[in-house]
Structure 1
Amino acid sequence: MLNPLDNYFEQKDKPVKCCLQYLRLLLMDYSDITEHWKYGMPFYYHKGKMFCYLWIHKKLHQPYIGLVDGHQIEHEDLLQEKRARMKILLINHLEDIPKNKIESILNLAFDLRK
């Protein structure tokens, strides 16, 4: 039987599933990132503190990375919507994943923690 984290990814349909799995691997490539099951979703901690999570936008049906302290980051591709603290980066699962853009935004988020 799969753990809740693996089950979350397995139950998604392609190509959303492939996109989320790619994002998961990208995040787990960072040495200080750990993966947890929190609030019913995959959550990623940086040095023991909540950092980001992966989810699907309810209206747009697109995967996204939710950044916990995103409200402190200025980037044209981050959306605040009705969130107080979080901002999200939508990922179009039907196009090539913008790895460089994702990494540059993650680096901005890492810089907040220094």
Structure 2
Amino acid sequence: MSRQEIDNFYLNLSEPNRGCMLSLRSILSNCHPDITQEWKYRLPFFYLKGKMFCYLWMDKKTTHPYIGFTDGGQMEHPSLIQGDRKRMKILLIDPNNDIPLNLLKKVLNEALALRS
């Protein structure tokens, strides 16, 4: 893991995406004691017990941040978007609004339950 590459990824974003992504980073890093952050595929990936769990990226059209869940295809939450992805689903976050913590907790709990 290159800590500098991860930090540079966040610091090179413009506001409001920078603040939103840094908040999401903190939330994801603290949602489970076995979560670690890695630099993979040129983006920040979060691992749970050594296995890919989710990642942060931005939508090409809206430039809004999103969390991509690697087991998203097995998740049923109505706020998740699959689009043309075969395995993953994403949760879009509007950086101009407060992060919907209750929604995010429900989605994270569903994702964590798949790994227990």
TM normalised by structure 2 equals: 0.95
Match of 2:33 in 1: 31
Amino acid at match of 1:54: L
Distance of 1:45 and 1:89 partners within structure 2 = 17
Match of 1:110 in 2: 112
In the TM superposition, structure 1's runs of 4+ consecutive aligned residues that sit over 4 Å from their partners are none
Q: Which runs of 5+ in 1 are unaligned?
A: none
TM normalised by structure 1 equals: 0.96
Match of 1:14 in 2: 15
Q: How does 1:64-75 map to 2 (within 5 A)?
A: 64-75=66-77
Identity of aligned residues (%): 49
C-alpha distance after superposition, 1:31-76 (max 9, x if no partner): 1100000000000000110000000000111000000010101111
Q: Alignment length, in residue pairs?
A: 113
Distance of 1:7 and 1:49 partners within structure 2 = 24
Match of 2:49 in 1: 47
Q: Which runs of 5+ in 2 are unaligned?
A: none
Cα distance, 1:100 vs. partner?
1.3
